[in-house]
Amino acid sequence: MNRMNPSEKFDVLVLGGGTAGKLAAWTMAKEGKRTAVVDRKYIGGSCPNVACLPSKNVIYSAKVASLVGRHREFGIETGPIAIDMAGVYARKREMVDGIIRVHLDKYRAALDKDRGDELIFGEGTFVAPRTLHVALRDGGERTLAAERVFVNLGSRATIPGTPGLREARPLTHIEALDLQRRPGHLIVLGGGYVGLELSQALRRLGSRVTVVSRDTRLASNEDADVSEAVLQLFRDEGIDVLLRTHVL
């Protein structure tokens, strides 16, 4: 019979190192509280790693490709361009790695090893009030307890329950931002802003793109005139848009 390890005591325990979690940890640690941060993978959370910032990096590369492709509109003559998706990925990766280094420096400045503060990588599960069991990323396990626990679990990519879709192993936005080759044809399920960003970027980088949405318009949370403008822009850029369409 396996027994849980004796719990290690902290003043503050933060589960999830995204924006709220990291700021709480840095603040509590600087106030002299013995602090532990438990995170699965991404230093700094999803925004600098797999969401807001890397997506804008790829979008900017796509914007440059679009402008270069329209060079004659600006009175510029040049030869044909070639898209290097591995180079697009490398540029994004360099930015993310730089942001990670900034976050690690902030953790080092805030967390005092002599006091026992730690940044711990692993999968945390509550096993008792204010007590976490952590399956460590590099093997092993620990049990942590604290007087104050901050839960900052963030977001995750979801896959709809369409029969066969999960088994087909589709890309989520996370894998799409790590592409190092250009898809010949990208099908995007959903007309929300994440799907629209990736649709336009990959189209400008040279892929054929089809957007499939069951809504009556793109970006359905926006005003109707905004949705219509986005639809017209997509059609002008050669993106196929299927509205009122259900994937079976």
Pair 136, 52 in one domain: yes
- 152 pLDDT higher than 60: yes
- 74 pLDDT higher than 70: yes
**Count of Cβ atoms closer than 10 Å to residue 74 Cβ:** 8
Tell me what the pLDDT averaged over the chain comes to.
95
Pair 146, 25 in one domain: yes
How many domains does one find in the chain? 2
Pair 60, 146 in one domain: yes
pLDDT of residue 80: 85
Q: What's the count of helices (H) and strands (E) in the chain, helices before strands?
A: 7, 8
Pair 57, 125 in one domain: yes
Beta carbons of 54 and 95 less than 8 angstroms apart: yes
- 4 pLDDT higher than 70: no
Pair 148, 25 in one domain: yes
Pair 217, 105 in one domain: no
Question: What is the pTM (predicted TM-score) of this model?
Answer: 0.90
Give the residue numbers spanning the domain of 23. 9-156
pLDDT of residue 174: 94
pLDDT of residue 3: 56
Pair 152, 47 in one domain: yes
Q: Is residue 85 part of a domain?
A: yes
* Domain final position from 121, 156, 191: 156
Query: What band does 70 get if pLDDT is binned at 50, 70 and 90?
Result: very high
Pair 130, 216 in one domain: no
pLDDT of residue 193: 93
- Percent pLDDT > 70 in the chain is 98
